[in-house]
Structure 1
Amino acid sequence: MATVRADGLPLAYDRAGAGPLLVLLHGAGDDARAWTPQLDALADVFTVVAWDEPGTGRSGDLPAAFTLADYAHCLAALVRSLRLGPAHVAGLSWGGTVALEFYRHHPDLVRTLVLADTYAGWKGSLPTEEVAARVAGVRRMLDAPPTGSPAIAVPGLFAGAPPAPYVPLLDAMAAAARPDTLRAQLALMAEADQRDLLPTVSVPALLLWGEQDVRSPLTVARQFQAAIPEAELVVVPGAGHLSNLERPEDFNRAVRDFCRRHS
């Protein structure tokens, strides 16, 4: 583990390997451990960095009134501190929304974008009634006492049952999630609409989607593909929303091939 400070906020991250910089941005409710199948597997080609975003894992608590732009500026502080030039930036789910906001504010620090099972914000990708239902569902989950395994608390994360090797990891991350952070992320995600940003993306972009993702279905991937100039779409067969955990070999192969072509 290493740390860097962004405007006084401590940010923790894991680092492995050497080569072009590949930064991994996890989803809401997770932390850097969500990238366990990628961190070492891709370190043969890249300097792989997986951060605990503000308010998660080993990083400091989320400051009051934190915005998507603030996430982007914290990530910029981390990338600049590494002194490895523009980065391949890969974000999954909420992490993809953060990656897009990072590109909006700091395009000079982005070599490529890998957007996996993500959204242009919920408002920018989902019907209004679906956004309202998700907000209500997450609020109920946060207000209810925990029951059973947190790994299956959110339906639709996987095409099938959660992959057995990662259930303890999923449970550990869910148990460590901070309710105040999740409430703040929920508000930001519900209101985020990045559709204006997509046509302006001028770096190579890979869209990496689980074939059976019901959280961010392939219709969202097609919206991204239509809006981002020359974006490439790779569909991960037999995978749901957390395609990096459900089909890590397919996921890693797509990321490695794409980023090597654009390094």
Structure 2
Amino acid sequence: MGEHVRAGDLDIWTEQVGEGPDVLLIGGLGDTVESWQFQLDGLADRYRMTAFDNRGAGRTAMPEGPASAAVMADDAAAVLRALDVPSAHVAGFSMGSAIAQELAVRHPELVRSLVLNSTYARPDALFRSQLDFWRWLPEAAPSGRAFFEAFFTWVYTPRAHADGSVAGIVEEALNFAHGQSTGAFQAQVDVCREHDTTDRLPQIAAPTLVLAGEFDVILPPRFGHAVADAIPGARFEVLPGEAHQPFQEIPDKWNARVDAFWQEVEARN
């Protein structure tokens, strides 16, 4: 069971399970703790796993005023400090990877290692146009179902659409008791649009693994490759046949890969 953790001036919904070295999971646009369920279930026998709802998602409010990846990184740092976690292996996905980058730059003492999945340093012209489209999509969609069905065409593989996985995810989203408001969704889209760590990535000293889906149409591998090139010593790997959210579509393989990376980092210290 999760609980609200007081982090600065914000109550952030947090779930922590398992025992072992600490891991912090940072979700993407609109994602909540539940998006990491395969990791919370699959890795808690080896790690103490912490996930939370970013500001503006799930059970965490979106305060007045502008949001940014830097502000949300400070939220993540406040969660770790509120839970007395001295440092953690940090895994961030999409918008969460932008937050994780900022966390590593702004609070390096809290970051033991970084896994950046479906990541980018700043949006190019095409990605900015996609984000602009997403921003007005919830206002234009004729129903919540139509919004999710349209949005998820960008997110999951043809395989997941064909085997019914996406249909199930749509139903879960529609039935979720803490759905995201249009305003909060748009605020998070703006966070994604304004993210830019291009000139600061070389400051990251934590061991870093960058993962990209071969067929990710939102953030193709070229984005992750550029991030890995900019972070000293970072590794870059492409997941064959995968799209934007492999941690949900192939959780066993994804968990095994990040576990091997974390074990390697642990062995060095």
TM-score by shorter chain over 0.5: yes
Gaps of 5+ in 2: none
Alpha-carbon displacement from aligned partner over 1:172-225 (angstroms, at most 9, x marks no partner): 346612211111122222122111121121110011121211111111121122
Tell me which residue corresponds to 1:29: 30
How high is the sequence identity, in percent, across the aligned residues? 32
Tell me which residue corresponds to 1:20: 21
Tell me which residue corresponds to 1:172: 172
Tell me which residue corresponds to 1:157: 155
Shift, 1:165, TM fit: 4.6
AA matched with 1:249: D
Distance in 2 between residues matched to 1:190 and 1:208, nearest whole Å: 21
Of stretches 147-156 and 185-194 in structure 1, the one that deviates more from structure 2 is 147-156
Gaps of 5+ in 1: none
Does the 8 Å contact 1:207/1:233 carry over to 2? Answer: yes
The SS at the match of 1:244 is helix
Counterparts in 2 of 1:30 and 1:11: CA distance versus 1, 3 Å: same
Shift, 1:36, TM fit: 1.1
Tell me which residue corresponds to 2:134: 138
Alpha-carbon displacement from aligned partner over 1:78-119 (angstroms, at most 9, x marks no partner): 101222321111000110001111112111110001000122
The SS at the match of 2:243 is coil
Tell me which residue corresponds to 2:104: 103
Tell me which residue corresponds to 1:182: 185
AA matched with 2:228: Q
The SS at the match of 1:50 is strand
Shift, 1:150, TM fit: 4.7
Of stretches 132-141 and 220-229 in structure 1, the one that deviates more from structure 2 is 132-141
Does the 8 Å contact 1:225/1:233 carry over to 2? Answer: yes
Counterparts in 2 of 1:165 and 1:138: CA distance versus 1, 3 Å: closer
TM-score, normalised relative to structure 2? 0.89
Residue 214 (1) aligns with residue 217 (2): yes
Does the 8 Å contact 2:54/2:60 carry over to 1? Answer: yes
AA matched with 1:159: T
Distance in 1 between residues matched to 2:76 and 2:154, nearest whole Å: 29
Of stretches 146-155 and 39-48 in structure 1, the one that deviates more from structure 2 is 146-155
Distance in 1 between residues matched to 2:16 and 2:148, nearest whole Å: 25
AA matched with 2:154: G
Does the 8 Å contact 1:91/1:116 carry over to 2? Answer: yes
Does the 8 Å contact 1:16/1:39 carry over to 2? Answer: yes
- For these two proteins, the number of residue pairs brought into alignment is 258
Shift, 1:253, TM fit: 0.8
CA RMSD of aligned residues (A): 1.9
Q: 1:201-240 maps to which residues of 2 (within 5 A)?
A: 201-240=204-243
TM-score, normalised relative to structure 1? 0.91
